[in-house]
Amino acid sequence: METFESLVRAEFRPKSTYLNTASTGLLPARSVVAMRDAVASVAAGEPADMFADVEASRAAFARLAGVGADRVAAGASVAVYSGLIAAALPAGAEVVTAEGDFSSLVNPFHVRGDLKVRAVPLERLAESVGPETALAAVSAVQSADGRVADLAALAEAARSHGARTLVDASQSAGWLPLAADGHDFVVSVGFKWLLGPRGIAFLVVPEDLGGLTPLFAGWVAGEHPWDSTYGPVGELARSARRFDESPALFSYAGARHSLALIEELGVAAVHAHDLALADRFRAGLRRLGHEPVPAPGSAIVSVPGLGGRQEELDRAGIMVSDRAGHLRTAFHLYNTDADVDRLLNAL
């Protein structure tokens, strides 16, 4: 029986100390092979059935999210799905967001121009939901510094005031257990902690489809797609597939295998592994006299004042991020204690 460590070793051999999954996750070897094979099949004039890869990816994400596949739409961008939800709100509706949250999530509500968008501190998000609130939108884990939102408190506050919730799981899906059923809408890209290529994203909608209008519906959004290729789509899919974007097929050819790896390893095991490394780094930072941004339970560690050392660390083969002057590190399944210690020694 393969162990966590042997599965990871078989899939990843980075040439650097890669601590930047919050920007882009590494592709497993199996996904690279699948994408090469898919490209080769098209070059040979014998295209593989990559639409089957879309459906396998949809089903895998649904299992990770704890919902049925009929509630999951497959696309390419969080901003597109956030914009779809923004378009469904009535003029003047109040949207509550967290200060400094990721632009792809919050900007579509601002560009509407006729919504009342309030940004509040992350720790005050739940208490800021009131009778006038139509939607509360937040990233489960903040991209800039790794702080983890209290999603349970937010869901309870939204229910008590008749508001809906939108959660962006882009910085959490893959290492933090995801219970999408507790929220109205969940979005996530797949190229970070889910280890897929760019060009994939998912939207989870309620069973009643959330009152969304499929504004960008093309032929793939039809109940019978291959009978929906000319003229108006006769019948939209009766599931969340009506919100599918035309898929980036080569990306989904790889994503299918990336998601399968996450399922094989198990999110609980990945969660324990990632947090152990993040906590090791936090402890080491404090020994060096540095205090990270408080983000208990997060696989992302952000250190104020050290962002300027990113280029130096990159030259040393340690890949991290500079976010607003903070040094942002992200620990995932392919990282080890040795990676943590190498960064601490460099600092």
CATH class held by domain 50-264: alpha beta
Question: CA–CA separation, 90 vs 35, rounded Å?
Answer: 42
- Kindly report the pTM of this predicted structure: 0.96
Encode pLDDT of 269-327 as tens digits. Answer: 999 999 999 999 999 999 999 999 999 999 999 999 999 999 999 999 999 999 989 99
pLDDT on residue 1: 67
Encode pLDDT of 321-347 as tens digits. Answer: 999 899 999 999 999 999 999 999 999
Which segments of the chain have a pLDDT < 70? 1
CA angle 73, 75, 76 (to 5 degrees): 150
Strand partners for 14: none
| Residues 6 or more apart in contact with residue 109 via CB below 8 angstroms | 82, 86, 89, 95, 97, 115, 117, 135, 137
Domain locations in the chain as residue ranges? 4-28+266-346, 50-264
Question: CA–CA separation, 121 vs 85, rounded Å?
Answer: 22
Contacts of range 39-48, beta carbons closer than 8 Å, 24 or more positions apart: 39/250, 48/253
Nearest alpha carbon to residue 193 among 339, 280, 72, 298: 298
What kind of fold does domain 4-28+266-346 have according to CATH? Aspartate Aminotransferase, domain 1 (3.90.1150)
Side-chain half-sphere CA neighbours of 15 within 13 A: 1
Encode pLDDT of 197-208 as tens digits. Answer: 999 999 999 999
Structure tokens that stand for 285 in this block: 């930072």
* Orientation of helix 29-43 relative to helix 50-65, angle to 10°: 150
